[in-house]
Amino acid sequence: MDVISVIRTKRDRGELTPDQIDWVIDAYTRGEVAHEQMSSLAMAVFLNGMNRTEIARWTAAMIASGERMDFSSLARPTADKHSTGGVGDKITLPLAPLVAACGAAVPQLSGRGLGHTGGTLDKLEAIPGWRAQLSNAEMMDVLRDVGSVICAAGDGLAPADKKLYALRDVTGTVESIPLIASSIMSKKIAEGTGSLVLDVKVGSGAFMKNLDDARELAATMVELGTDHGVRTRALLTDMSTPLGLTAGNALEVRESVEVLAGGGPADVVDLTLALAREMLDAAGLTDADPAKALADGTAMDHWRRMIQAQGGDPDAPLPVAREQHTVTAPASGVLTSLDAYAVGLAAWRLGAGRARKEDPVQAGAGVELHAKPGDAIQQGQPLLTLHTDTPEKFDYALTSLEAAYDIAPAGTAVTRTPIVLDRIA
């Protein structure tokens, strides 16, 4: 087996054999295949695609590059959720303890933000003392005691994907459905969960900009999960407008706690409950009522226990940015649109996100929304508040918001897009 033959096969639109896939993933992980050679193969896949058999084998090879976790000793059925990323997407924070409160074990391995999309671990690290890095033994202890854990994936989980993703990120080959699907699913299958619900975002603030591409990605991932024995389903959800009223780490934690306390923005509550019902159904807990667990405080109790189990103080004040700047409405009327990507970009520029994985983030930075599409507004009314510790960033952030919203005359009808656009199972 040699890498040049593998590259030529896919370059010439051929189908990679199982042996070719197994060999090239293993050889790249071990360093036998050079980065520039794997970059060439990734570009060939980007341009020519892979069929279902190839994607399944590619995913299996990446899983085989590392360890697989085993939750069979837990008394509860396991359920996990993965989001493809968006702006203001804090759903994991209330969702994990909510599903645990309803009887499932939730081993939620999460990541950090990069670019305009936020990261769950960055958000939770705004809580004083909270730890993202847990050993496998610590993770199991929290699952047994609390029922849910949110932490970083260990280095032993699908190391081939970690290495390949870093390469794709700098070679223009991220936007490939076969490579996206196998990247996500190799980690989730290796994680060992019994069931998985995918939240595939669609819209300007998401990776998938249109519904057809999102359906293809969701269907591919559902097939991969099914082929590997994981009960998998997907919801396609709207990301044309930011989720909730905040985008930024501590800001989103505060909003998540509001949801767990029985309040919070309607779209965040609705999506949290929709995903919770899917997770519980996939785990076989069809009699559980997540809405009741939110209303009676059970989910909040699990949140507090989960944060404490990972070293955090759920009662500690959250960081607040030192400086704020308010954007006001230039005219009266109806807010007809608020672009998710523009808001996410502004939050990133204010310090809530990072350009490189090693960059620090500001816990208090971000954007607070005072209106959503469909709301009536008055001239001079606050539309957005920008938060940062470094006020010299305001001008740069404001440039991304110049065309971020539209205001129509009063009385203009605005059709609100449903939060859940489609379901694939």
What pLDDT score was predicted for residue 358? 73
Quote the tokens at residue 230. Answer: 């994981």
Distance, CA of 11 to chain centre: 32
DSSP codes, 62-90: HHHTS-----TTSSSPBEEEEE---SS--
Are the C-beta atoms of residues 330 and 126 closer than 8 Å to each other?
no
Residue 282 Cα distances to 62, 81, 233, 316, angstroms: 25, 11, 8, 35
Quote the tokens at residue 267. Answer: 């779209």
Q: Is CATH 3.90.1170.30 the right assignment for the domain spanning 323-408?
A: yes
All residue ranges of the chain with pLDDT < 70 are 357
pTM of the model: 0.93
- Which class for 357: exposed (0-12), middle (13-18), buried (19 or more C-beta within 10 A)? exposed
- Which class for 8: exposed (0-12), middle (13-18), buried (19 or more C-beta within 10 A)? middle
Sequence-separated (6 or more) residues with CB below 8 Å from residue 396: 349
Q: Kindly state the DSSP code that residue 237 receives in the 8-state scheme.
A: E
Residue 35 Cα distances to 143, 160, 181, 182, 235, angstroms: 38, 12, 21, 19, 35
DSSP, collapsed to helix, strand or coil, labels residue 325 as strand
> What is the rounded distance in angstroms from the CA atom of residue 113 to the CA atom of residue 416?
28
What pLDDT score was predicted for residue 192? 92
What pLDDT score was predicted for residue 251? 98
Q: Kindly state the DSSP code that residue 341 receives in the 8-state scheme.
A: H
What pLDDT score was predicted for residue 153? 87
> How many residues does this entry show for the chain?
425
What pLDDT score was predicted for residue 154? 83
What pLDDT score was predicted for residue 172? 87
231: alpha, beta or left, given left = phi > 0 and alpha = psi -120 to 50? beta
DSSP codes, 95-123: HHHHHHHTT-BEEEEE---BTTB--HHHH
What pLDDT score was predicted for residue 105? 98
In the chain, which segments carry CATH 3.90.1170.30?
323-408
For the annotated catalytic residues, the residue numbers are 82, 161, 168, 183, 187
| Cα–Cα nearest to 235, from 286, 199, 189 | 199
What pLDDT score was predicted for residue 174? 84
DSSP codes, 180-236: HHHHHHHHHHHHT-SEEEEEEEESTTSSB-SHHHHHHHHHHHHHHHHHTT-EEEEEE
Task: Determine the residue type at 131.
Answer: R
What pLDDT score was predicted for residue 46? 96
Q: Which helix (H) or strand (E) holds 402?
A: none
What CATH number should be reported for the domain whose range is 79-157+164-309?
3.40.1030.10
Sequence-separated (6 or more) residues with CB below 8 Å from residue 328: 379, 380, 381, 382, 383
In this predicted model, what pLDDT tens digit does every residue of 309-345 receive, in sequence order? 999 999 999 999 999 999 999 999 999 999 999 999 9
In the chain, which segments carry CATH 3.40.1030.10?
79-157+164-309
